[in-house]
Amino acid sequence: MKLKILIASLTSCSGCISSVLSSDIFPQFLERIKLSYFPFISDENKIEECDIALIEGCISMDSQIELLKDIRNNAKKVYALGTCAAFGGILSLSEKKKAGAISDVVQIDGIIPGCPPPLKLIGNCLIRLIENKEIKLSEKNLCSSCPLRGNNNIPFEKPVNKLNPSNDELTIFNEKSNCFLDNGILCLGPITREGCDHICIEQGIPCEGCLGPVSKDYTSNLINFLSLINLSKDLTKYKGIFYRFSKPKIGW
Amino acid sequence: MNIYSILSHPFRRKILLLLEREGFIPYTDLMEKLGLAQTGQLNFHLKKLGSLISKDKKSYFLTEDGKRVLNIISLNKRILSGEELEYLDKRGNIINRIGVIICDCNTEISNVINIEILERYIAKLNDVVSVKKFDNLCQEKNLNKITSWAKQNFLNKVVIAACSPKTHQHIFERIFKDVIEHTNIEIANIREQCCWVHDSNLEKFSADLILKKVELLIEAGIERVKLQKEVQIKTVEVEKACAILGGGIAGMTLALNLSKAGIKVYLIEKSPTLGGKVARWHRISEMGDCSICFTSELIGEIVKEKNINIFTNSEIETISGEVGNFTIELIKKPRYIDEKKCTGCKQCVNVCGKEKKNQYDFGLSYRKVIYIPFQNSYPYIPLIDHEDIEDCLDCRICERACINNAINLNEKPEKVRIKVGVKVIAIGADFSDNLKDYNYNPQNNIITSPEFERILSSDGITEGKLLRISDKKPVNSVSILQEVGPSKLISDYSEILAQKYIEDIKIRNTKCKVNVFYDLSKLSDKDQILLRSTNPKFIYANHISVKSIKDINYVVADDTEFLSDLIVLNLKYIPNKDLKNLRKYMDFSLDDNGFMSRETLASGIYGVGTIFGPLNYKSTISTTNQTALEIIYLLSNDYLVSEFTGIKINEEKCGLCGLCVVSCPYNAIIIGGDKINIDKFKCKGCGSCVSVCPTNAIDLNIDTSKKILKTIEIFSKFNKKPMIIAFCCKSCGYAAADDAGLKKLFYHPNVFIIKVPCTGRIDTEFILKSFECGFDGVMVIGCRKDACRYIDGIQKVQKKVNLLKKVFGPRLSNRIIVENLNAVEGAKFANAINKFYNVLTEEIRFET
């Protein structure tokens, strides 16, 4: 019996679904499962009973809440695909519209975070889904596998006053043991889950935290982290800099 | 059939156990075995046992039901005795059999609340086996009652609802000493935090509200004790021995102190003789004593001590182990002369044909390849330096000259392994050697202070006479240049040293002119003021230089020239060059000036002498004595117990980001390569690392995050607004709350106190969780800003609170407050709560 899978998208840029479609494993995945509902590529628009539902995007309309509840009732397991579905994403910052993570409305069984989720992570998760296992994410933070990780560790002494390295500085971040934070550049790696392929960091862009927190909630981690570094006053537009991927639970 | 009511009586359990052991027992035997006199009692119990037992013509025996019940009992017993605990632990189960004691404290509690209602509420809670009320728990007479109650009910955890743990925890722990692990005892402070501060008879607080608060305090205690897991205790057997690196004054004094306290000492010196630098000095300032007399006396005393093993000419190769049990491997460099055979007759020295510069006179004199460093060196046995063996002519004349056949030119390095409990670094400091600006040249009579000491010393270069080195003519003018060396380090002893030189010069040549120069451009403003001496010989100038015209030297101070027969550069101490090498074996870091930083020394490692920076003789001795006391204290333990109140790290979750390292005030966490390590003896259990870990990889063994979050959840059941949560640090905030209780200062019952080890332990998560759970305000009550028990915990939480307020703006600005109190400010505590209560009431009204 093939697994029945449903892939739905709510308010989103469809980047996560595009990533799923473009992953190496997707053709094999298609062979092993039966897609019951996937409005992105098929006209079938009836929600049937299924084994797994992957939801992309955040909730911003009442009709989406209805849809989501319908899916929850029909699916054995519901997973949030991408940062918008998992944490609310950039749209949740909107002050006029109410937008939030799908877990605000229904119970979910797991998340596949990332903006969009890294291809390797998607591949691993799809394999586990086919095998009918729980999705397993790393329990460590980004630093543990960071390509810039140095050996000696007396970290974060310099004042942090930049968001990105300047052009001249870019070359030094190609070498090991040149942590962004040690050089006064804000990087959210310590409070972000491990699991991406470090695409940003390898290009000289510090981590922005799209994979979300490992434990506790994002705001707690953020405040704890900021209390330890010497953050410059220029970087105090907290909403814009730090809350790109989620809205704090207790609201503004 | 209710098995539990059957089993509730010890007699009935005993009957079952007897029947299990013996199979069939007649009625009369049963009576005898139970020690009963009346048949009625036994009849009653037998009847109660019902279908668990049966009777044939003669005897009673167990039925199948009875056997099954007994199986359950014995399993329970095994679980409680710990046999099955490991097995259950693996499956993630903890057996909780919790007993709750309510202490009435001589009706202090029952005056305020109805204990019966309370008992009924508590007894209904999950995992609570028994609730017992005592009038006075803290009194000795209850001891037997309590322990038998705990044993009968097979309790493994206890919640005591009574007075403050600050005053009574140790008493309660003593009561349960052999019955219940003291990590499994939780105290709900219902006296100081509730009954004494919310008395409904005197103030207009509702009695129901107070009862509810007591219920929640106890319930939270139960939930906390449920979450307590077994704490792994690691003990290290203490090796009662100490290794001291460096045989200078500090090292030797320490060795003598420790040895006299009965501790075995290994004194390890890199050079071939004890004595260190001081042995080469002429005399010690302010002591009047000639230093070699003094050192030789000290050496004499050390040699007498049987507890001291001396390794000269030896270096450390590896160190392993932890505090209490280190293993050190030494390499003993060859002396090429057998210490046991040699008598120190110096025949070999006399016949040796090859000369080298003598490093003990700073290269100003010559010695043979085979040599004795100086008079009074210990051991007084000649040697050939390991490095010099290449220069040896290999003529073997010395071999023939030695009557005792002590010389062995083929000797190889020897490895020695020792075991010690602590290590001490006493390798001293080095002298500044960057002298380019001063035309330094001993052959042209511009010398350093150590070299000058060798001139003054009677066994030195000029045998104590004040002569120029270049032509051995008498010296008529000496200029002493102070503070020569790296600019930032100021040495308080340089002035004393200059004064000593002035005296010594006067003794040798009364007509000799002496001038002491200070270069103000090399000193900070503060030092310039501090240094000003009234002595006319001290000259302060904005610029000082040394001018040499052929073999005549001048010191130029601003524009004035001073002719000098001898110029002495009074050198500053710089960090020992071996320190960097030592860091491979030992954990410590260097301070801004490159000296060893005392705070960063790992436990079991001590430092004495000038490794922390320049010290004069007297301070060296006094700090050494102090360190000796610390070491004696540590080594007086037979075992060191670790991992008790401290932290544990889950390496599967740790991403090595280093946030905990930044947060730890004691440098107890070390990340090296791909490993994270805790120095368990340095960790004081403040938990500030736990509060910042982004992956929850670190947790405290006792005050776990789960417990605190659960406590917040339980407290949120209180339904009278405004609800306030107060995080109190155990040393100050909690004590202030107790003080308010002891003084019976009333405040609103809407506040719930959560004890944390230090305010630095407070995770932002706790604050946010409180708001999520429906609390209206959060108070953080900690030590005064400059008096935090754990150095800077209160500043850490203040930073977090400030950030929270910045991020969330006006919404939280009035909802979180941080108070700094000390342990006797109960009145301030009560005031702060009442004030906050009013503010929040106002806020809530405004919002609605």
pLDDT digits (tens, 9 = 90+) for A48-98: 899 999 999 999 888 999 999 999 999 999 999 999 999 988 888 887 778
Cα distance between residue B291 and residue B305, in whole Å: 21
pLDDT mean across residues, chain B: 85
- B673 contacts in chain A (CB < 8 Å): 151
Q: Which of A93, A138, A141 to mutate to test the interface with B (most CBs of B within 10 A)?
A: A141
- By CA distance, what is B772's nearest residue in A? A250
**What mean pLDDT do residues B685-714 have?**
92
Are both A123 and A205 inside the same structural domain? Answer: no
Are both A153 and A115 inside the same structural domain? Answer: no
B197 and B210 Cβ atoms separated by less than 8 Å: no
DSSP per-residue codes, B245-287: E--SHHHHHHHHHHHHTT-EEEEE-SSSSS-TTGGGSSB-TTT
A189 and A207 Cβ atoms separated by less than 8 Å: yes
Nearest to A238 among B656, B671, B807 (CB): B807
- B803 contacts in chain A (CB < 8 Å): 223, 226-227
Nearest to B655 among A144, A154, A220 (CB): A144
CATH architecture of B3-89: Orthogonal Bundle (1.10)
Structure tokens at B822: 């000390």
Q: Do B694 and A225 touch (CB under 8 A)?
A: yes
Question: Among candidates A16, A6, A5, which has minimal Cα distance to A84?
Answer: A16
- A211 contacts in chain B (CB < 8 Å): none
Query: What pLDDT digit, counting tens, does each position of B195-232 carry?
Result: 888 876 766 778 888 999 999 999 999 999 998 887 77
Min distance B713 CA to chain A CA atoms (Å)? 15
- By CA distance, what is A179's nearest residue in B? B657
Cα distance between residue A212 and residue A37, in whole Å: 28
pLDDT of residue B45: 85
Min distance B599 CA to chain A CA atoms (Å)? 15
Nearest to B662 among A155, A215, A238 (CB): A155
Are both A117 and A17 inside the same structural domain? Answer: yes
- B662 contacts in chain A (CB < 8 Å): 155-156, 228
Q: Do A153 and B799 touch (CB under 8 A)?
A: no
B551 CB neighbour count, 10 Å cutoff: 11
Q: Which CATH number do you get for residue A17?
A: 3.40.50.700
User: What do you get for the CA distance between the two ends of chain B, in Å?
Assistant: 56
Q: Do A190 and B694 touch (CB under 8 A)?
A: yes
Are both A76 and A184 inside the same structural domain? Answer: no
CA triple B376-B267-B672, angle to 5 deg: 140
- A156 contacts in chain B (CB < 8 Å): 658, 662
Nearest to A250 among B653, B771, B799 (CB): B771
pLDDT of residue B118: 92
- By CA distance, what is A217's nearest residue in B? B765
B157 and B129 Cβ atoms separated by less than 8 Å: no
The answer to whether residue A252 sits within a structural domain is no
C-alpha dist (Å) from residue B558 to A50, B259, B436, B512, B547: 94, 54, 19, 23, 12
Q: Do B673 and A151 touch (CB under 8 A)?
A: yes
Q: Which of A98, A130, A162 is the last residue of a domain?
A: A130
The answer to whether residue A187 sits within a structural domain is yes
Query: What pLDDT digit, counting tens, does each position of B60-93 carry?
Result: 888 888 888 877 776 666 555 544 445 444 444 5
**What mean pLDDT do residues B774-792 have?**
89
Q: What is the largest CA-CA distance in chain B?
A: 130
pLDDT at B666 over 70: yes
Residue-range definition of the domain harbouring residue A53: 3-130
Cα distance between residue A19 and residue A174, in whole Å: 27
Q: Which residue has the higher pLDDT, B739 or B179?
A: B739
- A225 contacts in chain B (CB < 8 Å): 659, 692, 694
Q: Do A220 and B764 touch (CB under 8 A)?
A: yes
- By CA distance, what is A225's nearest residue in B? B692
Are both A69 and A89 inside the same structural domain? Answer: yes
pLDDT at B720 over 50: yes
Are both A175 and A64 inside the same structural domain? Answer: no
Residue limits of CATH 3.40.50 in chain B: 96-227, 705-847
Query: What pLDDT digit, counting tens, does each position of B167-183 carry?
Result: 888 888 888 888 888 88
Residue B531 pLDDT level (bands cut at 50, 70, 90)? low
pLDDT of residue B487: 60
Nearest to B655 among A194, A238, A248 (CB): A194
pLDDT mean across residues, chain A: 87
Q: Which residue has the higher pLDDT, B438 or B628?
A: B628
Are both A8 and A125 inside the same structural domain? Answer: yes
pLDDT of residue B88: 47
Structure tokens at A81: 């695909």
Q: Do A139 and B692 touch (CB under 8 A)?
A: no
pLDDT of residue B215: 93
Q: Do B655 and A140 touch (CB under 8 A)?
A: yes
Cα distance between residue A83 and residue A107, in whole Å: 16
- A191 contacts in chain B (CB < 8 Å): 694
Q: Do B661 and A140 touch (CB under 8 A)?
A: no
CATH number assigned to the domain covering B430-574? 3.50.50.60
Are both A13 and A119 inside the same structural domain? Answer: yes
- A236 contacts in chain B (CB < 8 Å): 806
Min distance A165 CA to chain B CA atoms (Å)? 20
Are both A10 and A103 inside the same structural domain? Answer: yes
Give the residue numbers in A contacting B (CB under 8 Å), as ranges: 139-144, 149, 151, 153-156, 189-191, 194, 213-217, 219-228, 236, 238, 242, 248-252
Q: Alpha helix locations (H) across chain A?
A: 15-22, 26-32, 62-74, 83-87, 119-130, 199-202, 218-226, 238-242
SS3 B570: strand
pLDDT of residue B85: 47
Count: domains in chain A: 2
pLDDT at B362 over 90: no
A&B contacts, CB < 8 Å:
113
- B663 contacts in chain A (CB < 8 Å): 228
**What mean pLDDT do residues B547-565 have?**
86
Are both A56 and A86 inside the same structural domain? Answer: yes
Q: Do A223 and B796 touch (CB under 8 A)?
A: no
Residue B763 pLDDT level (bands cut at 50, 70, 90)? very high
The answer to whether residue A95 sits within a structural domain is yes
Cα distance between residue A30 and residue A45, in whole Å: 19
> How many Cα atoms within 13 Å fall on the side-chain side of residue A24?
6
Residue B484 pLDDT level (bands cut at 50, 70, 90)? confident
- A194 contacts in chain B (CB < 8 Å): 655
pTM: predicted TM-score of the whole model, two decimal places: 0.74
CATH of B96-227, one of 1.20.140, 3.40.50, 2.40.390, 1.10.3470: 3.40.50
Element (H, E) at B40: helix B39-49
Q: Is the bond leading into A155 cis (omega within 30 degrees of zero)?
A: no
- By CA distance, what is B760's nearest residue in A? A224
The answer to whether residue A48 sits within a structural domain is yes
The answer to whether residue A19 sits within a structural domain is yes
- B780 contacts in chain A (CB < 8 Å): none
B329 and B417 Cβ atoms separated by less than 8 Å: yes
Element (H, E) at B484: strand B477-484
Lowest mean pLDDT among B275-279, B486-490, B551-555, B646-650: B486-490
Min distance A45 CA to chain B CA atoms (Å)? 38
Q: Which of A72, A95, A130 is the last residue of a domain?
A: A130
Q: Do A224 and B695 touch (CB under 8 A)?
A: no
CATH number assigned to the domain covering B705-847? 3.40.50
Element (H, E) at A4: strand A3-9
Min distance B730 CA to chain A CA atoms (Å)? 21
Q: Which of A101, A130, A159 is the last residue of a domain?
A: A130
- By CA distance, what is A241's nearest residue in B? B807
Cα distance between residue B409 and residue B337, in whole Å: 8
Residue limits of CATH 1.10.10.10 in chain B: 3-89
Are both A41 and A88 inside the same structural domain? Answer: yes
Structure tokens at B421: 């409990």
Q: Do A226 and B809 touch (CB under 8 A)?
A: no
Nearest to B661 among A153, A219, A220 (CB): A153
Q: Do B809 and A252 touch (CB under 8 A)?
A: yes
Are both A184 and A87 inside the same structural domain? Answer: no
